[in-house]
């Protein structure tokens, strides 16, 4: 039967070709061609394409946020591929311009040194690995910004070809560091989309979509460059589109864990409204620009000397935390809230310390914000009002009472919304308070 079916299909295809070839007019040939594509054939073609671009079982095998993420990812790779044509043209132009002053061997050495510098930068940046888990979205977006910076530096080599080697090396370091960031954050993001044991399938299809978009962008850019457009204007337009797509891409990712940015959103919403935001809402409100290397008002797990100006400040509030495995305080000179962890602190103690720090920040916010601009609009280290020692102790005492009442309900409501409290990624410092008898 299989053989008969195969013979019938071959005969049918040959008959269609013969009828189209010997049709008396182009109009009739066009009609015969349309008739030959049966709806079943179109359905089979679409099914074949789907096997390359969407995971098996789609849309039930992935979360709803998968589609917007892949849409923005495809656009980002499309614009990235288009920019690659302009940067490559600039690099080749720069090498060609300098070729009159150097032999071809020196040109090849320059190119190899450029790539070598990028690989060294990639290896050195790998030590930041844990930050890719703590601040996944922030690092991913920072990596894309770094990729844009590298591409811009590559474009600049065409203007100053005699500086090809230092500029190309710097650009390649930036782009390789960005590549490390992209690779390191890829799996956790795809894991957030997979509903079952299909992370490999989701990853493979996601990368395929990215590669297809990159090829389409490259092809379009090649056609555009044949018309000799302004390289700077074209690159600027594509660069803006790339950054916007990258921002929307990371914003569309819905993660269940609580890093510092999402934890801040959850606690602030709970203190103001009494409710914990949903996963979708919490992720949408997360600040993507809160990069881990920027100074923050809330420090978790700091050293003792950073939190207290003198030992007397510690002795004044230490009795308030006698039953806790942490201590929370505020340093007016640095305008920061500190949550110090004792050596017996467990994961839940770290969560509670972070929650308590936000509550104290809320109290200080209300106290200082009674006069002029809001707390968040005031630069770090420049508060308009300095709390007295007695006022600070009173605020800390009030925060202890509130935390004892609110921390339990906060955990329960967060769990109801789907937040994974046990998998928190708050990135506490390593310093611990060791109590001795």
Radius of gyration of the chain (CA): 29
Q: How far apart are CA 62 and CA 189, in angstroms?
A: 12
Q: How far apart are CA 419 and CA 266, in angstroms?
A: 10
Q: Can you read off the two tokens belonging to residue 242?
A: 């790339």
Which pLDDT band, with edges at 50, 70 and 90, does 122 fall under? Answer: low
346, burial (CB in 10 Å: exposed 0-12, middle 13-18, buried 19+): exposed
Q: How far apart are CA 381 and CA 384, in angstroms?
A: 10
Q: What is the pLDDT of residue 16?
A: 44
3-state secondary structure of 277: coil
3-state secondary structure of 9: helix
Residue 286 clears pLDDT 90, i.e. is over it:
yes
Q: How far apart are CA 225 and CA 248, in angstroms?
A: 28
Residue 135 clears pLDDT 90, i.e. is over it:
no
Q: What is the pLDDT of residue 80?
A: 93
Instruction: Give pLDDT tens digits for 323-358.
Output: 999 999 998 888 889 999 999 999 999 999 999 999
Q: How far apart are CA 146 and CA 141, in angstroms?
A: 9
Q: How far apart are CA 117 and CA 249, in angstroms?
A: 29
Q: What is the pLDDT of residue 58?
A: 86
Q: How far apart are CA 82 and CA 217, in angstroms?
A: 4
Residue 13 clears pLDDT 50, i.e. is over it:
no
Instruction: Give pLDDT tens digits for 343-400.
Output: 999 999 999 999 999 999 988 877 766 544 444 454 544 444 466 778 888 889 999 9
Find out whether 359 and 414 touch, Cβ atoms under 8 Å.
Answer: no
Q: How far apart are CA 67 and CA 60, in angstroms?
A: 12
* pLDDT, greater one: 188 or 18: 188
Q: How far apart are CA 72 and CA 314, in angstroms?
A: 50
Q: What is the pLDDT of residue 237?
A: 94
* pLDDT, greater one: 320 or 14: 320
Q: Which among 113, 257, 112, 250 has a CA at the least distance from the CA of 181?
A: 250
SS (H, E, C) 121-141: HHHHHHHHCCHHHHCHHHHHH
Residue 172 clears pLDDT 50, i.e. is over it:
yes
Q: What is the pLDDT of residue 381?
A: 46
Q: CA angle 82-85-88, nearest 5°? A: 145
| Orientation of helix 347-368 relative to helix 260-273, angle to 10° | 60
| Matching residue, tokens 């056609």 | 223
Q: How far apart are CA 239 and CA 221, in angstroms?
A: 13
Find out whether 261 and 269 touch, Cβ atoms under 8 Å.
Answer: no
Q: How far apart are CA 361 and CA 152, in angstroms?
A: 41
Which pLDDT band, with edges at 50, 70 and 90, does 72 fall under? Answer: very high
To the nearest 10°, the Cα dihedral for 295, 297, 301, 304?
90
Q: Which among 190, 193, 196, 147 has a CA at the least distance from the CA of 172?
A: 147
Instruction: Give pLDDT tens digits for 183-242.
Output: 888 888 999 999 888 889 999 999 999 999 999 999 999 898 888 888 889 999 999 999
Mean pLDDT to the nearest integer, 270-285: 94
Note the maximum CA span of the chain: 104
Residue 320 clears pLDDT 50, i.e. is over it:
yes
Find out whether 278 and 241 touch, Cβ atoms under 8 Å.
Answer: no
* pLDDT, greater one: 69 or 127: 69
Q: Which among 434, 357, 338 has a CA at the least distance from the CA of 399?
A: 357
Q: Can you read off the two tokens belonging to residue 268?
A: 């602030």
Q: What is the pLDDT of residue 6?
A: 45
Q: What is the DSSP letter of 278?
A: P
Residue 178 clears pLDDT 60, i.e. is over it:
yes
Find out whether 303 and 334 touch, Cβ atoms under 8 Å.
Answer: no
Q: What is the pLDDT of residue 276?
A: 95
Highest mean predicted confidence (pLDDT) among 74-83, 122-131, 173-182, 303-312: 74-83
| Matching residue, tokens 């308070």 | 433
Average pLDDT of every residue of the chain = 81
Residue 297 clears pLDDT 80, i.e. is over it:
yes
What string of DSSP letters covers 61-107?
A: TB-TTHHHHHHHHHHHHHHHHHHHHHHHHHHHHHHHHHGGGS-HHHH
Mean pLDDT to the nearest integer, 8-34: 47
Residue 29 clears pLDDT 60, i.e. is over it:
no
Instruction: Give pLDDT tens digits for 394-425.
Output: 889 999 999 999 999 999 999 999 998 876 68
For the chain, the distance separating the N- and C-terminal CA atoms, rounded to the nearest angstrom, is: 88
């Amino acid at each position: 039967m299989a053989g008969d079916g195969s013979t019938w299909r071959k005969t049918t295809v040959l008959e269609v070709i013969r009828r189209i070839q010997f049709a008396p007019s182009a109009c009739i040939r066009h009609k015969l061609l349309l008739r030959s594509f049966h709806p079943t054939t179109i359905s089979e073609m679409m099914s074949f394409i789907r096997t390359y671009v969407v995971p098996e079982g789609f849309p039930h095998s992935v979360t709803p946020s998968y589609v917007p993420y892949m849409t923005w990812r495809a656009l980002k790779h499309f614009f990235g591929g288009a920019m690659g044509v302009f940067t490559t043209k600039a690099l080749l132009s720069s090498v060609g311009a300098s070729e009159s002053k150097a032999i071809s061997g020196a040109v090849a050495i320059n190119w190899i040194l450029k790539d070598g510098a990028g690989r060294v930068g990639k290896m050195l940046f790998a030590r930041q690995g844990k930050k890719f888990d703590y601040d996944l979205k922030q690092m991913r977006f920072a990596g894309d910004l770094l990729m844009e910076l590298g591409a811009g530096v590559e474009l600049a080599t065409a203007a100053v070809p005699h500086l090809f080697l230092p500029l190309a090396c710097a650009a390649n370091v930036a782009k390789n560091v960005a590549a490390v960031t992209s690779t390191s954050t890829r799996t956790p993001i795809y894991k957030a989309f997979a509903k079952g044991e299909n992370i490999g399938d989701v990853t493979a299809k996601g990368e395929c979509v990215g590669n297809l978009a990159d090829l389409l962008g490259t092809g379009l850019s090649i056609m555009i460059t044949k018309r000799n457009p302004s390289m700077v204007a074209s690159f600027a337009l594509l660069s803006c589109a790339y950054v916007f797509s990258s921002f929307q891409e990371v914003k569309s990712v819905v993660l269940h864990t609580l890093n510092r940015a999402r934890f801040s959103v959850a606690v602030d919403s709970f203190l103001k409204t009494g409710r914990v935001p949903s996963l979708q809402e919490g992720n949408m409100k997360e600040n993507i620009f809160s990069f881990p290397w920027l100074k923050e008002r809330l420090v978790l797990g700091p050293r003792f000397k950073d939190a207290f100006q003198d030992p007397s400040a510690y002795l004044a509030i230490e009795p308030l935390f006698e039953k806790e495995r942490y201590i929370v305080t505020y340093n007016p000179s640095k305008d920061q809230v500190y949550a110090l962890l004792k050596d017996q602190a467990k994961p839940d103690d770290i969560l509670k310390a972070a929650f308590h720090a936000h509550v104290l920040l809320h109290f200080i916010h209300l106290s200082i914000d009674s006069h002029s601009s809001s707390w968040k609009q005031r630069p770090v280290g420049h508060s308009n009002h300095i709390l007295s020692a007695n006022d600070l102790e009173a605020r800390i005492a009030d925060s202890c009472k509130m935390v004892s009442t609110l921390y339990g309900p906060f955990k329960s409501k967060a769990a109801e919304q789907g937040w994974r409290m046990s998998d928190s990624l708050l990135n506490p410092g390593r310093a611990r308070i060791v109590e001795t008898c």
